[in-house]
Amino acid sequence: MARPMADKDQRPGERQLPFDPGSRIQAGVTFIGHLATPWRKGDCPKNLTEARNRGGLFQAVVAPDYRAGLEGLVAGDGIILLYWMAGARRDLIVQAPAHRPAPRGVFGLRSPARPNPVALACVRLLEIDHAAGILTVDALDAFDGTPLIDIKPWLPGVDNLTR
Domain boundaries, the chain: 123-155
- At 120, phi and psi to the nearest 5? -135, 150
What is the arrangement of strands in the sheet containing 15-16, beginning at the earlier edge strand?
15-16, 92-95, 104-105
Alpha helices in the chain (DSSP H): 48-54, 156-159
How many CB atoms within 10 Å of residue 60? 27
Q: pLDDT tens digits, residue range 126-144?
A: 999 999 999 999 999 999 9
Question: Can you give the pTM of this predicted structure?
Answer: 0.87
One digit per residue, the tens of pLDDT, for the chain of length 163 reads: 444 555 567 889 999 999 988 888 888 899 999 999 999 999 999 999 999 999 999 999 999 999 999 999 999 999 999 999 998 999 999 999 888 899 999 999 999 999 999 999 999 999 999 999 999 999 999 999 999 999 999 998 899 887 6
